[in-house]
Amino acid sequence: MVTREVLGGWLGLLKPRLRSSSPSVKLSSNDLSTLPARVFSPLTALEQLYIDENQLETIAPEIFDGLVGLQHLDLRHNKLTSPASDVFDGLTNLTLLNLGKNSIKYLPPIIFHSLPKLRSLSIYKNELEVLEDGIFDELVNLEELKLHHNQIASLPPQVFWSLRNLKTLTLSSNRFQTIPEKSFYNMSLTLSDNPWDCTCGIRGIARWIRHNQHVVIDKEDVIFPTLNELHEPAQPFHTISTIGQKTASTTTLPGATSATTEGATQQATIPHAGCLVFFLGSSCTICQMTKFYKQTRDSIPKICAADAQ
């Protein structure tokens, strides 16, 4: 275990060499629970700092003062819960920030506003429940944003719109039931393992997935997940077949209802285990799966109006 005194002395010995090179300091897996304020400030040439796999619960805002040349900062696998809004102020050259595998429940809306050069931001495997409106507005160069395995249930309107260079966005394993269909543009996306709302509220994002299948990396898991709520989960789903030009029917499966609706079948999607959505012309038919009970129960398909696109 590295104590505060040992850490300070070690950095002092390295100071002359670090100033004259393009250094990387690695303090990974040292069981650190605290760091002195401004402990890294003398290392003005520092470009990469790894403090991952420690026991840090809080970080003093002054800890990164003077690190104007820092490009990579790895804080993953600690115990951070609520970083201060100004903790990253001054890191204007940072291109990579990893906050994954912490216990972060909340991020202030301006926490990333001083990071205009950031290209990769990882906040996966935390306990985030909300994303504040405008939190990503200044990250105009961001290319990768990892938010999978959190507790996020909804998105602020246009929260990703300022990220014009974003190429990869991971939102899988959160608590989304529905997402505004105009939330995403020109990026690769993961959406699997979310508890999608099995009502007509899903039609917007489901239609967007249908028209942007090349964008959704895990579309097979979003559209055809494991049907673990069925009594016979091993029995495969079959593609909906169109009967003639005016009617369409579903394949009847154990625990599933079937429906016949006017309009030609366009596509079948399964946004979540236990929910089957059929796009039929200008309407969508939602057939809900039911578990097997001692007595079979029938469920009634719901019909909702949807755009004809």
The tens digit of pLDDT for each residue in 108-127 reads 999 999 999 999 999 999 99
Q: What per-residue confidence (pLDDT) applies to 210?
A: 73
The closest alpha carbon to 284, from 250, 252, 236, belongs to 250
Residue at token pair 């030009």: 245
Question: From CA 39, how far away is CA 44, in angstroms rounded?
Answer: 11
Concatenating the DSSP letter of every residue in the chain gives: ---HHHHHHHHHHHHHHHHTS--EEE-TTS------TTTTTT-TT--EEE--SS------GGGGTT-TT--EEE--SS------TTTTTT-TT--EEE--SS------TTTTTT-TT--EEE--SS------TTTTTT-TT--EEE--SS------TTTTTT-TT--EEE--SS--S---GGG--SSEEE--S-----SGGGHHHHHHHHHTTTTBTTHHHHHS---TTSSSTTSPP---EEETTTEEEPPP-TT----EEES-EEEEEEEETTEEEEEETTEEEEEE-----SS------EEEE----
pLDDT at 254 over 50: no
Q: What per-residue confidence (pLDDT) applies to 144?
A: 96
Residue at token pair 């796009």: 279
pLDDT at 176 over 50: yes
What is the percentage of the chain residues whose pLDDT exceeds 90?
40
For residue 101, count other CB atoms closer than 10 A to its CB: 20
Which CATH class, in words, describes the domain spanning 10-170? alpha beta
pLDDT at 39 over 80: yes
Q: Looking at per-residue confidence, does 209 or 165 come out higher?
A: 165
Q: What is the mean pLDDT of the chain?
A: 71
pLDDT at 297 over 90: no
pLDDT at 93 over 70: yes
Lowest mean pLDDT among 48-57, 100-109, 124-133, 261-270: 261-270
Determine the distance from the C-alpha atom of residue 39 to the mean position of all C-alpha atoms in its chain, rounded to a whole number: 33
Q: What per-residue confidence (pLDDT) applies to 21?
A: 54
Cα separations in angstroms, 158 against 217, 262, 307: 21, 35, 21
pLDDT at 87 over 80: yes
Q: Looking at per-residue confidence, does 163 or 268 come out higher?
A: 163
Q: Is there a contact between 263 and 246 (Cβ–Cβ < 8 Å)?
A: yes
pLDDT at 298 over 70: no
Structure tokens at 221: 């898991």
For residue 61, count other CB atoms closer than 10 A to its CB: 15
Q: What per-residue confidence (pLDDT) applies to 233?
A: 35
Lowest mean pLDDT among 77-91, 169-183, 234-248: 234-248
Q: Looking at per-residue confidence, does 161 or 224 come out higher?
A: 161
pLDDT at 288 over 70: no
Q: What per-residue confidence (pLDDT) applies to 193?
A: 80
Please, which pLDDT band fits residue 247 given cuts at 50, 70 and 90?
very low
Q: Is there a contact between 188 and 160 (Cβ–Cβ < 8 Å)?
A: no
Residues 148-171 have a mean pLDDT of 90
The tens digit of pLDDT for each residue in 206-245 reads 776 776 666 676 666 664 333 333 333 333 333 333 323 3
What is the Rg, in whole angstroms, of the alpha carbon atoms belonging to the chain? 25
Q: What per-residue confidence (pLDDT) applies to 161?
A: 87
Q: What per-residue confidence (pLDDT) applies to 189?
A: 79
Please, which pLDDT band fits residue 46 given cuts at 50, 70 and 90?
very high
Q: Is there a contact between 103 and 126 (Cβ–Cβ < 8 Å)?
A: yes
SS3 string, 74-127, reads: ECCCCCCCCCCCCCCCCCCCCCEEECCCCCCCCCCCCCCCCCCCCCEEECCCCC
